């Protein structure tokens, strides 16, 4: 990774409008919580998970070479995407262990622990953003594979972290509001750089992370349901802000990762049909029908079209799929549907 690339990643919070907006939002929220007395404690319970979730998401989006989205309502909750809160557990655990170690053995072992944690923290975040698994993010084999895949460029992240810590101590000389603003800028910059060192290496596609211990069938089903719900919630955040294309793109990307793609399409469509605003499900159904027709699943495609027409009789497949849908309706004996589609 070239120095210019490091600088570009480090300055992302200032050069990317979305990231800058997110930084200012969290700065204002944290400043408000600090000034609110006891009420601020309750505000912090909501704000801090959202901050950790956003920073984890920032590592993943920059690591994938994508443009980060501003935080939506889905960030400000304790349930769903629990893996993205794991960095908070790491920070608290290191702080507690450092304090206990200092009490027992003095400053030298404490500093050694902090140095080791600083060296490994970028790798923990990197593996976490790839696997969405807290267990894998502290798996020594997974961490070793990640660092080996990044190569010498990995050292940039711990070195940058050391610089961030040093600058953070200097910022304490300023007033509280300025201090918080600088701390937020440094945090966002650090996580942008961690994602930046990952981006050139295609680790999300090429890195081999060891599989976890085989779970029971029930546990696998439970994990899959939780993952799908988290994906749907994240996509809803895009859709509710008017970015329906972004929400659908996120869902389709997650569907492509599944072993049973057909079941995944059906699951997301069924859940979206339970939303109060079913119009979004109808637009998603057009993509679903396209995939079904593309794979020769004519009868399921017809069933989806009929179900959508019960919600809105004006529903039609995408223009490019219309002729295939007509043939599917005719081959399944549903001449009435075929006739309706021909009049489109």
* 116 plus 12 within the same structural domain: yes
Q: Cα–Cα distance between 215 and 218 in angstroms, integer?
A: 8
CATH of the domain at 265: 1.25.40
Domain encompassing residue 127: 3-206
Higher pLDDT, 45 or 272: 272
* 120 plus 161 within the same structural domain: yes
* Residue 186 belongs to a domain: yes
The rounded mean pLDDT for the chain is 86
* 169 plus 237 within the same structural domain: no
pLDDT of residue 260 exceeding 90, the answer is: no
Assessment of whether the complete model's pTM goes beyond 0.75: no
* Residue 213 belongs to a domain: no
Range with lowest mean pLDDT among 155-169, 173-187, 192-206: 192-206
In this predicted model, what pLDDT tens digit does every residue of 94-127 receive, in sequence order?
889 988 888 888 888 888 988 999 999 999 999 9
Q: End-to-end distance of the chain based on CA atoms, in angstroms?
A: 54
* Residue 71 belongs to a domain: yes
* Residue 217 belongs to a domain: no
Q: Please give the pLDDT value at position 215.
A: 46
* 10 plus 132 within the same structural domain: yes
* 294 plus 173 within the same structural domain: no
Angle between helices 322-331 and 279-294 (to 10 degrees): 70
* 44 plus 95 within the same structural domain: yes
Buried b (16+ CB within 10 A) or exposed e, 239-271: beeebbeebbebbbebbeeeeeeeebbebbbee
* Residue 218 belongs to a domain: no
* 286 plus 319 within the same structural domain: yes
pLDDT of residue 50 exceeding 80, the answer is: yes
* Residue 74 belongs to a domain: yes
* Residue 273 belongs to a domain: yes
Q: Cα–Cα distance between 189 and 133 in angstroms, integer?
A: 24
Confidence of residue 223 (pLDDT cuts 50, 70, 90): confident
- What are the structure tokens assigned to 78, written together? 């304790």
Q: Please give the pLDDT value at position 270.
A: 92
* 175 plus 81 within the same structural domain: yes
- φ and ψ at 226, to 5 degrees? -65, -40
* 163 plus 24 within the same structural domain: yes
- Measured at the alpha carbon of residue 112, what is the angle toward residues 110 and 118, in degrees to the nearest 5? 105
Which CA distances in Å does 65 have to 60, 132, 252, 283?
9, 18, 18, 27
Q: How many structural domains is the chain composed of? A: 2
In this predicted model, what pLDDT tens digit does every residue of 312-327 receive, in sequence order?
989 999 999 999 999 9
* Residue 92 belongs to a domain: yes
* 188 plus 244 within the same structural domain: no
């Amino acid at each position: 990774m070239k120095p210019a690339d490091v600088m570009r990643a480090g300055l992302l919070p200032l050069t990317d409008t979305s990231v800058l907006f997110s930084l200012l939002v969290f700065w204002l929220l944290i400043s408000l919580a600090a000034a609110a007395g006891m009420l601020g404690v309750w505000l912090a319970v909501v704000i801090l998970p959202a901050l950790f979730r956003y920073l984890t998401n920032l590592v993943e989006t920059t690591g994938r070479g994508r443009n980060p989205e501003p935080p939506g309502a889905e960030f400000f909750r304790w349930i769903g995407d629990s893996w993205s809160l794991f960095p908070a557990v790491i920070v608290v655990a290191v702080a507690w262990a450092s304090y206990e170690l200092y009490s027992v053995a003095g400053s030298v072992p404490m500093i050694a622990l902090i140095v080791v944690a600083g060296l490994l923290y970028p790798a923990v975040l990197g593996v976490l953003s790839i696997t969405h698994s807290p267990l894998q993010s502290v798996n020594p084999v997974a961490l070793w594979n990640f660092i080996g895949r990044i190569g010498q460029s990995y050292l940039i992240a711990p070195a940058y972290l050391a610089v961030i810590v040093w600058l953070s101590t200097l910022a304490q000389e300023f007033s509280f509001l300025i201090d918080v603003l600088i701390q937020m800028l440094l945090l966002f910059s650090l996580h942008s750089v961690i994602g930046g060192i990952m981006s050139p290496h295609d680790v999300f596609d090429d890195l081999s992370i060891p599989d976890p211990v085989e779970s029971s069938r029930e546990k696998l089903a439970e994990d899959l349901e939780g993952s799908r719900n988290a994906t749907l919630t994240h996509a809803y955040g895009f859709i509710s802000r008017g970015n329906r294309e972004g929400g659908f793109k996120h869902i389709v990307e997650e569907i492509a990762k599944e072993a049973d793609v057909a079941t995944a399409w059906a699951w997301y469509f069924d859940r979206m049909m339970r939303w109060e605003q079913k119009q979004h499900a109808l637009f998603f159904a057009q993509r679903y029908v396209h995939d079904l027709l593309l794979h020769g699943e004519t009868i399921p495609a017809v069933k989806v079209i009929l179900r959508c027409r019960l919600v809105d009789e004006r529903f039609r497949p995408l223009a490019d799929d219309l002729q295939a849908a007509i043939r599917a309706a005719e081959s399944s004996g549903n001449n009435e549907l075929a006739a309706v589609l021909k009049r489109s």
